[in-house]
Structure 1
Amino acid sequence: MTVTCISPIDGSVYAERPTLTLEAARDVVSASRAAQPAWAGRPLQERIDLVMAGVAAVGAMNDEIVPELAHMMGRPVRYGGEFGGFNERASYMADIAAEALADIQVGEDATFKRYIKRIPHGVVFVVAPWNYPYMTAINTVAPALIAGNTVVLKHAAQTLLVGERMAKAFHDAGVPEDVFQNVFLDHDTTSALISEKAFDFVNFTGSVGGGQAMERAAAGTFTGVGTELGGKDPGYVMEDADLDAAVDTLIDGAMFNSGQCCCGIERIYVHESLFDAFVEKAVAVVNGYKLGNPLDAETTIGPMANIRFAKEVRAQIAEAVEMGAKTHIDTFPEDDGGAYLTPQILTNVTHDMRVMRDESFGPVVGIMSVKSDEEAVALMNDSEFGLTASLWTADVDRAQRVGDQIETGTVFMNRADYLDPGLCWTGCKNTGRGGGLSVIGYQNLTRPKSYHLKKVTK
């Protein structure tokens, strides 16, 4: 079997790779397991230095990576790739490693010494998505390696060259090949490995269905599974908000990367006093976009990564319109009915419409008018997902009060669609469970081991 990347630029086959047989995949995991004790035995600073050298080696490839990403998943080259966030996240995790992984001292006296160590799980399996393929992967790869785990990386078919590049960069920088391996696996082999306890921890970013498959495969093995399964992230614009800033940030959060962001804005609630002005300004922003070939420097919004993704967004829009929603953006001339999709703003929407309930993961956003914080909170919580929520107000105390009532993983105030590596990246409800980055990310990539040592006294 082969894994194939179809380029959204023109529908051509951009890359193909053969998948491993189950036996060959087992050999990869065995090599990873055999390499883990020696890797964990190296001094922490040595592991940090090697990981950061690997990160720098990825950065040195950026001129090749940027057009490669455009070919694989359609992001315009004008945005310059992902190395800024990739480096920021890895660097932060490197900086906090010594403190985050330090023994927890419980107490020592003449009789007892007590402490808790953070022990690496062993072999960590990272299944990364295509939408931000470098940044989502490094979220786990860097801290897992720094903590003393070995890593097996499986990347999405749409961005199948990313894992190869990361592995080559890290190996060239001195990370042993068996310590960080990239693999191409089909779903059955993946499930088989997990079900036979090949891995000590699994981190998956992707669809709800994919996360459920991971948990089913791990059932009864006691293998830890961390999941981030998408969202339907809301924005709420209060009556005292900076309107221009709210429009610019929320619409960018809804449309950037053709709407294909884990924490992209998918629904917006605006206080009735600002609603008309917000919609007018939002429409003007979107009408200024240039849809086109992502290799063209003029292009500001490229094709969706796959025709089937665009088909789902078109279906949600059509269903909403049939139920009474109003479209505000005329079809762009570059819209080909396939992967090149006109970004759309909808009003007259309700939560009876899929476009306000199901994850769209595309360049469409519904905007509703609300009268109060209570109404906005009820609507924001009326979702099966809970990744982030973006609140717009001049009042920090109010944002905290409202934020406390929202079922979500992260509360933003006056910003959106950003991942701060100092904060835990986490979600609730069908967004999944677990948490990456921050000190908590290290806690999830290690296990506690307690020491209760009674001293011999005479």
Structure 2
Amino acid sequence: MEAVNPATGERLDVYDPDDDDTVERKLDHATSTFEDWREVPLREREELLENASDVLRENKQRYAELMTREMGKPITQAIAEVEKCAWACDHYAEYAHKYLSDEHHPSPPGTEVKTVHDPLGPVLAVMPWNYPFWQVIRFAAPYLTAGNVGLLKHASNVPGCALALEEVFAEAGYPDGAFQTLLVGSSNVDSILADDRVRAATLTGSGPAGRAVAETAGKHLKKTVLELGGSDPFIVLDDADLDAALKTGVQARTLNGGQSCIAAKRFIVHTDVYDEYVDRLVAAFEDLTVGDPMSEETDIGPQADPDLMAELHDQVQESVDAGATLLTGGEPLARTGAFYPPTVLTAVPSGCPADTEEMFGPVATVYEVADADEAITVANDTRFGLGASLWTSDRERGQRLARDISAGCVYINEMTKSDPRVPFGGIKDAGYGRELSEMGIKEFVNKKTVWVE
């Protein structure tokens, strides 16, 4: 298992994957640890999570540089990711006891009826490389605090991050076995999930990976949460604040090199402001700095892998061949590393890759619409349904239109984002279940009714 710097092609390190005996030992260890961990008082689990927050902040530069080396995230964004992880830990350390408090129900005189929230056991997490710390912490912070134990199968190109996350919980004082990394390939997931010792699973990743996990989990009647792909609309109406919609739109499409499920991918712009918005979008894209991700001046680093960049470029080329208009970008940069420039496509034909597939890189497709009704129609014309961003100066209009958008979350005059205070997740091919907030921490608990006569 190799870690390769996508900015330079340099091999950073080689890791020996866990063999079958090691996986067996870790599953046993998770099971035995759970029996003790579930009995630890919730307040003590919250205190340990506070410790984890401290560990993240104390080591944020080292963890950020590790991320940047392994998957190319610009260093300033990597530092921000570690800080966001610490914030999520702070949130659950403060609110877990409120979220998990007993819920009392109406009952006959003299009786007490309540719902309690018991942990399920070892939870398998199959996580992606694009936010290698945040994706993990946003499952681990709530699920471990609820009394479960975690088994992380991270993406194979970020093994150093996977082991560093194990270090976070160890240094925070969690018992050995409460959070373990499994250095295994994707081919091992099915057998691990089928094991009786694993009680539930969460996955963030591609549609095919999600379907495979859901199929295996379904056979064994295990709870799952899936956060899959997205092709999020970014709707700019005729009364939008164009300055704000432009500034946020550029960030929403290019943050993390455009490698985000909730990135703004389809810009749907009212005809009255279309020409101005497109001209300014192209100019802003061309003004971005693509380069060394270790430099604080860099806006966009390399794509995480040369093969992923090649796949992205094929989607762009096929779309142009089908009739899309390329306004800027569209060719890998002639330099060492997997660098792809910010790209804008307009006049995108129906059915081409830029119209129907998720573009996992800094490529914006722009659609012109005549009115708000057409904007909603175009926004919903996708098999995905993760997030959406809608821009209008009329907040009541925005809230009214938000109800018509088929997505798990709609942000009005703001970019789509994940926030530990609010539920996060999608519908349709974007997955099911919710992460974060009270909903997230309750996804992997037994909501047990207790009737006391």
How high is the TM-score relative to the length of structure 2? 0.96
**CA positional deviation for 1:338:** 6.1
Contact 1:26 1:193 in 2 (8 A): no
**CA positional deviation for 1:332:** 7.9
**CA positional deviation for 1:324:** 1.8
1:143 aligns with 2:142: yes
Distance in 1 of aligned mates of 2:445 and 2:74: 37
Q: 19, 22, 25: which one pairs with 1:24?
A: 22
Structure 1's 255 and 451: CA in aligned 2 closer, same or farther, altered over 3 A?
same
Distance in 2 of aligned mates of 1:440 and 1:131: 24
Give the equivalent residue in structure 2 for 1:207. 206
Q: Please give the secondary structure, in 2, of the residue aligned with 1:273.
A: helix
Give the equivalent residue in structure 1 for 2:378. 379
Structure 1's 390 and 335: CA in aligned 2 closer, same or farther, altered over 3 A?
farther
**CA positional deviation for 1:337:** 8.8
Give the equivalent residue in structure 2 for 1:279. 278
Distance in 2 of aligned mates of 1:83 and 1:196: 32
Read off the aligned partner of 1:425 and give its amino acid letter.
Answer: F
Structure 1's 74 and 331: CA in aligned 2 closer, same or farther, altered over 3 A?
same
Deviates more, 1:135-144 or 1:216-225: 216-225
Q: Please give the per-residue CA displacement for 1:184-215, whole angstroms capped at 9, x wherever unaligned.
A: 11223221111233311101101111111212
Deviates more, 1:384-393 or 1:400-409: 400-409
Give the equivalent residue in structure 2 for 1:126. 125
Distance in 1 of aligned mates of 2:241 and 2:167: 46
Contact 1:232 1:385 in 2 (8 A): yes
Q: Would you say how many aligned residue pairs link Structure 1 and Structure 2?
A: 452
Q: Please give the secondary structure, in 1, of the residue aligned with 2:310.
A: helix
Contact 1:253 1:417 in 2 (8 A): yes
Q: 66, 69, 72: which one pairs with 1:68?
A: 66
Distance in 1 of aligned mates of 2:329 and 2:207: 32
1:315 aligns with 2:297: no
Q: Please give the secondary structure, in 2, of the residue aligned with 1:304.
A: coil
Give the equivalent residue in structure 1 for 2:262. 263
Distance in 2 of aligned mates of 1:219 and 1:176: 31
Distance in 1 of aligned mates of 2:373 and 2:106: 47
**CA positional deviation for 1:356:** 1.9
Contact 2:315 2:353 in 1 (8 A): yes
Distance in 2 of aligned mates of 1:416 and 1:329: 23
Runs of 4+ in 1 over 6 A off after TM superposition: none
Distance in 1 of aligned mates of 2:294 and 2:10: 15
Give the equivalent residue in structure 2 for 1:103. 102
Give the equivalent residue in structure 1 for 2:390. 391
CA RMSD after TM alignment: 1.7
Contact 2:31 2:121 in 1 (8 A): yes
**CA positional deviation for 1:340:** 0.8
**CA positional deviation for 1:60:** 1.4
Q: Please give the per-residue CA displacement for 1:44-80, whole angstroms capped at 9, x wherever unaligned.
A: 1110111220222122111212222121111122335
Give the equivalent residue in structure 2 for 1:191. 190
Distance in 1 of aligned mates of 2:233 and 2:360: 13
Read off the aligned partner of 1:453 and give its amino acid letter.
Answer: V
**CA positional deviation for 1:303:** 0.7
Distance in 1 of aligned mates of 2:389 and 2:23: 42
Read off the aligned partner of 1:394 and give its amino acid letter.
Answer: S
Give the equivalent residue in structure 1 for 2:293. 294
Give the equivalent residue in structure 2 for 1:156. 155
Q: 53, 75, 83: which one pairs with 1:55?
A: 53
Contact 1:233 1:267 in 2 (8 A): yes
Give the equivalent residue in structure 2 for 1:362. 361
Read off the aligned partner of 2:290 and give its amino acid letter.
Answer: L
Query: What 5-or-longer segments of structure 2 have no aligned partner?
Result: none
Contact 2:388 2:416 in 1 (8 A): no
Read off the aligned partner of 1:114 and give its amino acid letter.
Answer: V
**CA positional deviation for 1:369:** 0.8
Q: Please give the secondary structure, in 2, of the residue aligned with 1:20.
A: coil
Structure 1's 377 and 24: CA in aligned 2 closer, same or farther, altered over 3 A?
same
Deviates more, 1:299-308 or 1:346-355: 346-355
Q: Please give the secondary structure, in 2, of the residue aligned with 1:251.
A: helix
Read off the aligned partner of 1:45 and give its amino acid letter.
Answer: R
Distance in 2 of aligned mates of 1:207 and 1:213: 10
Q: Please give the secondary structure, in 2, of the residue aligned with 1:328.
A: strand
Structure 1's 106 and 355: CA in aligned 2 closer, same or farther, altered over 3 A?
same
**CA positional deviation for 1:334:** 4.4
Distance in 2 of aligned mates of 1:233 and 1:331: 20
Query: What 5-or-longer segments of structure 1 have no aligned partner?
Result: none
Contact 2:390 2:412 in 1 (8 A): yes
**CA positional deviation for 1:122:** 0.9
Q: Please give the secondary structure, in 2, of the residue aligned with 1:47.
A: helix
Give the equivalent residue in structure 1 for 2:33. 35
Read off the aligned partner of 2:326 and give its amino acid letter.
Answer: T
Distance in 2 of aligned mates of 1:423 and 1:216: 28
How high is the TM-score relative to the length of structure 1? 0.95
**CA positional deviation for 1:37:** 2.3
Identity of aligned residues (%): 29
**CA positional deviation for 1:5:** 2.1
Q: Please give the secondary structure, in 2, of the residue aligned with 1:430.
A: helix
Read off the aligned partner of 1:78 and give its amino acid letter.
Answer: T
Q: Please give the per-residue CA displacement for 1:391-438, whole angstroms capped at 9, x wherever unaligned.
A: 000112211221111110100001113212221111001111111001
1:305 aligns with 2:304: yes
Distance in 1 of aligned mates of 2:245 and 2:334: 27
Read off the aligned partner of 1:51 and give its amino acid letter.
Answer: L
Q: Please give the secondary structure, in 2, of the residue aligned with 1:369.
A: strand
Read off the aligned partner of 1:216 and give its amino acid letter.
Answer: E
